[in-house]
Structure 1
Amino acid sequence: MALQESPLQTGAEIFVERHGFQLPAVYSDFASEYAAATTGVGVHDASYMGRLKATGEDGLDLLNRMSTNKVVDLASGEGAVTVLTTDRGRIIDVLGVVNQGDHVILLTSPGRQQAVIDWLDKYTIMEDLVIEDVTAETTMLALIGPDAGDLLGRSPSQLPQDSLTSRSLSLAGTDVLAVEQPLGSLSRYWLICAPDAAAGLWQHLTDNGAIPIGATAMDAVRVNFGVPEYGPELGEPYNPLEAGLIGSVDFTKGCYIGQEVIARLDSYKKVQKYLVSLSFDTESTVSPGLELL
């Protein structure tokens, strides 16, 4: 995979294990990487995210019947975030659904590809649908920050404009699928390409001003901009309403796996706990997993 190759790790001296990979923790320094992502533009190798390819006429219909959001009417180039839930309304994964016309790309949380495939296969009977894990066959970079769109060198009309809409671009001679998905209020584009083109694309982006961002700064940006991740904040102990994912729940579209539980929680105001963000003063010593009570 691309993120195991040295060209995308040049300059990194400290590494951290995340999602089964050794990822650069810091390329230059935390402060400048965080500033690039929040005030300029940065690039992060996000190839550890899962990518599935769903082929067949019934892909969107099955997803619509098995997840929280309405995706059946997505046109080619459109996309949506939806939550795959158990029959008890618990989170299996949060999916990015990207319709490419002749197939659908599903963006999964790191390491959740097989769980998603197994759950969809369980309910695939007569449907025309084949799902492949193409994570190892592709590279995905995250171009993030207020200046991300400018760096792509396209006018706004040539770039995807809504969450999980997509366009095919040519960057530095490389065929790239650009998928727009903000990180909270920050502009972010997923750039998906062939692994053998990743180093050239990375070089093109950094030559044009993108600052490489390691895992430490990327985690800090994600948390500070209020975007939960599977594992630290999301998972099967929780339902979408507890996790603040109500924007990815369509209460009018009809039945899906877990719909009855989620609808009842909403109708009768039975949600008893919520995911929240806590802030501490700079002198406090806190770390992930610390018990607060």
Structure 2
Amino acid sequence: MTLLTLRELQARQGAVIDAAEAGAVPQTFGREAEAIAAVHQDQGVVLCDRSHWGCLDVLDRDRLRFLHNQSTNNFQTLQPGQGCETVFVTATARTLDLATAYVLADRVRLLLSPNRRQQIHDWLDRYIFPFDKVKLVDCSGEVGIFSLLGSHCGAWLQQLGIPDLPSAPHSHLTTEFQGSTVHLAQGSGLATEGYTLLVPGEQAAAAWHSLTETPGTPALPLGRQGWEQLRIQQGRPQPDRELTEDYNPLEAGLWQTVSFDKGCYIGQETIARLNTYKGVKQRLWGLRFQGQPEPGTLLTVADQRVGKVTSVVPTAEGSLGLGYIRTKAGGLGLQVQAGEVMGEVVPLAYVSHPALDPDSAVEST
């Protein structure tokens, strides 16, 4: 079956698909509120199609060393079946993309944000020198990428004949499912418990059909709009919003993606200095608004600029957003104003912010 057949199947399930948009994935299945409520209440299994995300294989003998030197996490300690999140940054530690890496016996497979797949491919290609044994293969569009959300996913998948995984973050295995060889990994791509399933493109429709039309307790499909709402509620930063060359990974709260003792890599000097000298001058926080400001709106406290809104989404409980707040201005519970709209700083499940004395924060470069 082809990806087009997958789209036809999803359309029959109520999906609204904008064929003119890059990736042409379902925007909604008309049941977004139900699916989001299921995630929040941890009821059943919710399934989201992320096949429009980038998929890049890094092959050959030097693949681990190469990625170790090009991103923030420690690849040299990883073995097949293990994985990690990592951030690609500029020489001054400004963020390019947040990626998930899976180490296989013969390659490292990277999942990249949809709007960064070509940029990261070209970025990495620039740093492959003649003596490097490294090869990049862009398999975007050739792999079905599905996120399964909910703490019950493991037991549910076992009922479908898929073995359980080690509990370590981003651990993964290759197994058989409905006659296809698939790749299953710990982690949903959000803070919610779950799994990521990678399926050969020609088998994606069959896999989606099995997951969403399983007798008894089928997975509830979630569209791109629902994913965006969960992303903002939980605080997963996104390129062109929270991940830009205005911010570094520590400001974005991506501390779990950074190894501080692995040695040199692109951007390492700046990140080490920020950590050593408590130089995180701004932090990514959640925002609960009484109205709906536009992304890019400045945040103020007592008419003093303290940050900027980066993302906003309407929800049943009001508008939620993401934004960067200056460390010296405060954190949780801070009352802010975005234009004429009042808001409050709230916690995020996806990011972390180590305790920091705001008086010690210095300007980053």
TM-score (norm 2): 0.74
Report how many aligned residue pairs link the two structures: 291
* Partners of 1:91 and 1:240 within 8 A in 2: yes
Judging by fraction of residues, say which structure has more strand. 2
Q: Deviations over 1:51-95 (max 9, x none)?
A: 001110101101111211111121011111111111111112112
1:5-44 matches, within 5 Å, as: 5-12=7-14, 14-15=16-17, 20-38=22-40, 39=42, 40-44=44-48
Is 1:176 the counterpart of 2:182? The answer is: yes
Amino acid at match of 2:84: A
Alpha-carbon separation, structure 1, partners of 2:12 and 2:50? 16
Q: CA distance change for structure 1 residues 223 and 267 in 2, over 3 Å: closer, same or farther? A: same
Q: CA distance change for structure 1 residues 13 and 289 in 2, over 3 Å: closer, same or farther? A: farther
Q: 2:192 aligns with which of 186, 189, 193?
A: 186
Is 1:253 the counterpart of 2:262? The answer is: yes
Q: CA distance change for structure 1 residues 44 and 266 in 2, over 3 Å: closer, same or farther? A: same
- SS for the counterpart of 1:96 is strand
Q: CA distance change for structure 1 residues 13 and 54 in 2, over 3 Å: closer, same or farther? A: closer
1:136-285 matches, within 5 Å, as: 136-153=141-158, 158-208=164-214, 209-281=218-290, 284-285=291-292
Amino acid at match of 1:106: L
Alpha-carbon separation, structure 1, partners of 2:49 and 2:85? 21
Counterpart for residue 82 of structure 1: 86
Alpha-carbon separation, structure 2, partners of 1:19 and 1:180? 29
Q: 1:121 aligns with which of 115, 118, 125?
A: 125
Q: 1:131 aligns with which of 136, 157, 174?
A: 136
- SS for the counterpart of 2:158 is coil
Higher relative contact order (CA 8 A, sep 6+): 1
* Partners of 2:11 and 2:17 within 8 A in 1: no
Q: CA distance change for structure 1 residues 18 and 280 in 2, over 3 Å: closer, same or farther? A: farther
Amino acid at match of 2:146: L
Unaligned runs of 5+ in 2: 299-337, 340-365
Q: RMSD of the alignment, in Å?
A: 2.3
Q: Deviations over 1:7-39 (max 9, x none)?
A: 133333544589723332221322112123332
**Shift in Å at residue 167 of structure 1?**
0.8
Q: Give the share of equivalent positions with the same residue, in percent.
A: 32
TM-score (norm 1): 0.91
- SS for the counterpart of 2:227 is helix
Counterpart for residue 360 of structure 2: none
**Shift in Å at residue 290 of structure 1?**
5.0
Q: CA distance change for structure 1 residues 159 and 10 in 2, over 3 Å: closer, same or farther? A: farther
**Shift in Å at residue 288 of structure 1?**
4.6
* Partners of 2:188 and 2:196 within 8 A in 1: no
